[in-house]
Structure 1
Amino acid sequence: MTLESYRNFVTIVECGSILAAANQLLIAQPSLSNQLKNIETYYGAKLLIRNRHKLELTDAGRVFYLHAREICQAEEKLHNEIHNKKTAFSELLKLSIPAGNSAYFLHHLFDDFRAAYPNVNFDFYEIPSDFAIPNVLNHVTEIGLIRSSLPGYASLAVYPYEKEEIVAICKPDHRLMQNGDILDIAQLADYPLAVPFDCLDLVRSSFGHRLLAPNISIITSSNATAIEWARSFGTIALASLTTADFQHIKDLAVKHFSDDNLFITSAFIVNKEYPLSRAARNFLGFHGVDVG
C-alpha cells in the first residue's frame, strides 16, 4: 500500500463521493474507483457501501479510515518538522481558530507573540468553533480557540480567554441612535438585522424571552461582514466585539444592551491526554493561561 492510497481513501470518505474526491484530487474518476477496489482486494474486506446518493463506511471501512487518517496526519507532521528544520523556524504550533476573525483580532492575538518568539511557525485551521473541538480531541491541533458554549469533555481542559459583548452597530444617523445610550433588545424588533452565526442563538434567545422574533435579514459567517452590512446597507449589526475591534469602527455608532446575558466567552481548549509542546505552552502563557 502506498501513502497515496491512504490519502485518496481519506479524501473519498471526507468528500462523500468518488466523483467529488476525484475532482478535488484532480484524478480521473475511473482511476480513483480502481484504487478503491485495489485497497479492498489488498485487505480482503469491503470498506465502502456505494448507495445511490452517498457512500457509507462498513465496520471494516471505519477502522481503515481512522488508521488511514492517522497515517496521513503522521506524514504531514513529519513533513512539517523536516520543513521547519530546513528554514529558520525551529518550532511548529498548530491551532484551530474560529473562522471569520477580524484582521484586528488576529493582530491582537499574534503580533506580540510572534515578536517574542520569532522561531515559531504556525499551522492554522480556520473553522467553526464546533469543528475546533474534534480537532483538539483528535490531536489534529494542539490548541483550539472557540466561541461557543464551553464543551464538557473530560479529556479537554478549558481556559476562558475574553468576554465579548454583543452590541448594536449602525450608522451614526440611524434613528435608533435617538433611543438613549442603553437599548432594550425589544427596541430592535422592527429593524432588519445582520447577525453573525456565532451570535445567532443568543440573539434569538434574548428576543424570545420578550416573546418577540428578530427580523434577521442576513446571517453572516463573520462579524466583519455583519458590520459591513450596517455600514453599506443601513441594517443594524448585532455582533460580538473584542477589545481590538472597537477602535476600528469609529465611523459607526455602537449601542450597548441592558440584557446582561448578551455576551460570548471565547476560550482556549487543549487535550489533557497529550503533553503540550514548548511552543503551545509559551503561546498559552503569553495570553495569561497557566497550564501548570
Structure 2
Amino acid sequence: MNLEYYKNFVEIVDSGNFSAASRKLMIAQPALSNQVKTLETLYNTKLLIRNARSVDLTDEGKILYNRSKSILTLLDTTQKEIASCVQGQKGTLWLGMSPALPDAYITNLLLAFNKQYPEITYELFEVNAAQLVELLNNGIIEVGIIRASGSDYPTLSSALTLSEQMVAVYPRENPWLAPDLEKIPISMLKDVPLSISKGFRKILTNAFVKEGLTPSFFCVSTTRVATLMWMEAGVAVAVVPSSLRYDYGKEGYCCCPVGDSPLSIDRSFAYLKGRKLSAMAETFLDFSRNMFSEINGLEQSDI
C-alpha cells in the first residue's frame, strides 16, 4: 500500500479538482491521474467522477476518502507521539480555557508546570465553553479547562474536577454589605447590583428563584476583567469563584461565601472521549492531579 497515493487522493477531493491539488502537492496532473487509476484498479471500482472544473466522489470513493483520512490522522498522531517519546518532555501543549484570568489556581498551575517542564511550549485558546467544546471535538486542543455538565457535553470526559465556592467580592466601604460578614445569604443580595461572568448567570438565577427572589444583574460579561472592573469602581458587587480570594482577600476588599450553604461551581479538565492523548497532555493532567490533590472536591468522572 503506497500511503502517498491515499494522501494525494484525499488532497484531490479536498482541493476540489486535480489542477488545484497538483499545484498544492507540486505533482503533475497526469501523475495524480495515474495514482487514482491505480487505486481504482486495486479496488476494482470507480472512485471519482471528473466534471469540467471539479471532481465528485462515487459512493465507493466516499468510503475510501473517509477511511483514508482516518488512517492518515492515526499515522500523524503516531508520529507525534513517537517524536514526543524520543525528545523527552518537549513540544507543544494544546490547551483551552475560559477567559477567566486573573485566576490564582490556573496561574499557579501553569507557572509551576512551566518550572517543572521548561521546554514545553503552549498553544493557548481563551474562548467560551461552547467554543472550547468545538475545539476539543475537532481535535484542535487536547485539554480544555471548562465549566460544564454531562447533559450539555456528552462527548467529553473529565480527568479531574475542581469544586470552588462562589464568593462575593466588594470594597469594604460600600452601601450594600457589611465588611465583617462570615457568609452572605441570597436574601441579603436582594436589590444589590451584581457583576458576574456569563457562565455564572444560571447558577445564581436558580439560587435566587429558589428563595422567591430575582437577582439584580448590573453587568453580565464574557470576561472576568470586566466583572472585577465594576466592583473595583464601587458600582457593583462581584460574584466570582473562591480562587480570587488570593487577589482580593486583602485590605480594602471583602471576600465572603455566597449562600447559606455556600454555592459552588465545578471546573473540569476535559478531553474528548475515546481520544488517545499525547504524552504532553497526559503529563499536564498528571501534574494537575498531583497539584490539586489536596483541594476539596477533586474527583474523577465524566463531565
> Per chain length, whose mean CA-contact separation is higher, i.e. which structure has more relative contact order (CA < 8 Å, sep 6+)?
2
Cα distance, 1:259 vs structure 2: 3.7
Distance 1:98 1:150, change over 3 A: farther
In the superposition, relative to structure 1, how do residues 139 and 178 fare at CA in structure 2: closer, same or farther (>3 Å)? same
- Measured after TM superposition, the shift of residue 236 of structure 1 is 0.9
Structure 1: state its 5+ residue gaps.
Answer: 8-38, 46-65
Q: TM-score, normalised by structure 1?
A: 0.66
Q: Give the letter aligned to residue 132 of structure 2.
A: A
Q: Give 2:207's aligned residue.
A: 206
Larger radius of gyration: 2
Contact 1:197-1:219 at 8 Å conserved across structures: yes
The whole-number CA distance in structure 1 between the counterparts of 2:169 and 2:97 is 24
1:63-85 Cα deviation digits (max 9, x unpaired): xxx99x99xx99x99xx99xx9x
Q: Which position in structure 2 is the counterpart of 1:215?
A: 216
Aligned positions of 1:168-187 closer than 5 A: 168-178=168-178, 180-187=181-188
Tell me which residue corresponds to 2:246.
247
**What does 1:103-252 correspond to in 2, within 5 Å?**
104-150=104-150, 155-178=155-178, 180-242=181-243, 245-249=244-248, 250=250, 251-252=252-253
Q: Which residue of 1 aligns with 2:30?
A: none
CA 217–6 in structure 1, closer or farther in 2 if over 3 Å, else same: farther
1:265 aligns with 2:266: yes
Distance in structure 1 (CA, Å) of the matches to 2:121 and 2:221: 30
Q: CA deviation at 1:42?
A: 1.4
1:193-238 Cα distance to aligned partner (Å, 9 max, x none): 1111111101111111111111111111123321221111431111
Inter-CA distance 152–201: structure 2 relative to 1 (3 Å threshold): closer
Contact 1:191–1:235 under 8 Å retained in 2: yes
Is the 1:148–1:198 Cα contact (8 Å) retained in structure 2?
Answer: no
SS in structure 2 of the partner of residue 176 of structure 1 = coil
CA distance change for structure 1 residues 155 and 232 in 2, over 3 Å: closer, same or farther? closer
After superposition, the Cα gap between the structure-2 partners of 1:224 and 1:40, relative to the gap in structure 1 and judged at 3 Å, is farther
C-alpha distance in 1, partners of 2:172/2:190?
A: 19
Q: Tell me the equivalent position of 1:24.
A: none
| Structure 2 residue runs without a partner (length 5+) | 1-7, 16-50, 58-65, 291-298
Measure the CA separation in 2 of the matches of 1:240 and 1:187.
19
Is this contact kept in 2: 1:146–1:266, CA < 8 A? yes
Taking a change above 3 Å as real, the CA distance of residues 44 and 232 of structure 1, as seen in their structure-2 partners, is same
Q: Tell me: CA distance 1:212–1:121, structure 2 relative to 1, closer, same or farther (3 Å).
A: same
Give me the CA root mean square deviation. Answer: 4.3
Shift of 1:40: 9.8
Q: In the alignment, which residue of structure 1 is the partner of 2:27?
A: none
Percent identical residues: 18
